[in-house]
Amino acid sequence: MRPANMQFAAPRMTPVVKVILILCAAIFLLQLVCENFLGFSLSPLLGFMPGRLLDGWLWQPFTYAFLHGGLFHMLFNLLILWSIGCELEALWGTRTFLGYFFVCTLGGAFLYGLFALGGLGMGAMHPVVGSSGAVYGLLLAYGILFGDRMMYFFMLFPMPAKYFVLLLGGIELISSVFYSRDGVAHLAHLGGMAFGFLYLSAMASWKRRLKLGAKQDQIARERAKRLKKAGHLKLIRGEDEDDDDPKHWN
């Protein structure tokens, strides 16, 4: 028996999520064709290699998110993107969601590249692929905005989304320290979450400033309206009052 208030429904597909899903699937098929029939890999060209960034390969921090290292890697990322990304895009709007997606993507590349160029992690010439940085950023946003919703850790253990996200972040932090060479870009996951948090904080601060500015403008308009109304009022001298009396004037 499931609780009466628990509902399961497929999220409605939204424009940006739809494009990303199609693009990732199409590029994955292209990867398979290139690797199995043409004899070369797209990962060194479109994956993120921090060492190449210093040579001017500026597209890699964007394009690496649309490549994947295997079928299950792609399906896992796209499943999460579809299941929570559609709701976030419907809530934020297309432009904000797309901006957030690429902020998290670039954040994952930045943190991974920072440590790789410093001699830590998997190496500056090891290509990183996958949308996991953006996906972890989306999970962070979901945990903040819908913290009390139930999510399933390992598809088995239910917990509120806010704790689910904290647990994921903790696992990635530990993994980045003790399992930095296990073939998984844990730092990219953390970078997506960190930059996502900074983006959400900046957006919330900006909205607070806009709200405060609108409130101050409203107060100023009301004050100006009262002053304008008061400007039409004047004191009238009585018939028996002296014109030179300083207490009375027109």
Work out the pLDDT band at 5, boundaries 50, 70, 90: very low
What residue segments make up the domains of the chain, in order of their start? 15-202
Give the span between the Cα atoms of 1 and 181, in whole angstroms. Answer: 44
Which is higher by pLDDT, 236 or 213? Answer: 213
Residue 218 has pLDDT above 70, yes or no: yes
CATH of 15-202, one of 3.30.565.10, 1.20.1540.10, 1.20.1530.20, 1.20.1050.10: 1.20.1540.10
Rounded to 5 degrees, what angle do the CA atoms 127, 132, 133 make?
85
Report the SS3 class of residue 223: helix
Query: In the prediction, which pLDDT does 239 show?
Result: 55
Q: What residues does 45 pair with on adjacent strands?
A: none
* Rounded alpha-carbon distances, angstroms, from residue 212 to 83, 157, 215, 216, 219: 35, 42, 5, 6, 11
Range with lowest mean pLDDT among 28-32, 154-158, 195-199, 205-209: 154-158
Q: In 3D, which of 186, 48, 198, 173 has the Cα closest to residue 109?
A: 48
Residue 247 has pLDDT above 50, yes or no: no
For the chain, give the percent of residues with pLDDT over 70: 86
The chain-wide mean pLDDT, for the chain, equals: 85
Work out the pLDDT band at 238, boundaries 50, 70, 90: low
Query: In the prediction, which pLDDT does 240 show?
Result: 55
Give the span between the Cα atoms of 135 and 84, in whole angstroms. Answer: 9
Tell me the per-residue pLDDT of 111-149, one tens digit each, with 9 for 90 and over: 999 988 877 666 788 899 999 999 999 999 999 999 999
Tell me the per-residue pLDDT of 155-185, one tens digit each, with 9 for 90 and over: 778 899 999 999 999 999 999 888 777 778 8
Range with lowest mean pLDDT among 77-86, 89-98, 182-191: 182-191
Which is higher by pLDDT, 11 or 146? Answer: 146
User: What type of residue sits at position 57?
Assistant: W
Per-residue pLDDT averaged across 51-76, rounded?
93
User: What type of residue sits at position 152?
Assistant: Y
Q: Following DSSP, what letter does each residue of 100-142 receive, concatenated?
A: HHHHHHHHHHHHHHHHHHTT-TT-TTSPB-SSHHHHHHHHHHH
Query: In the prediction, which pLDDT does 111 show?
Result: 94
Q: Rounded to two decimals, what is the model's pTM?
A: 0.81
Q: How many Cα atoms sit within 13 Å of 67 on the Cβ side?
A: 22
Q: Following DSSP, what letter does each residue of 30-76 receive, concatenated?
A: HHHHIIIIIS--SHHHHSB-HHHHTTT-TTHHHHGGG--SSHHHHHH
Residue whose structure tokens are 């018939």: 239
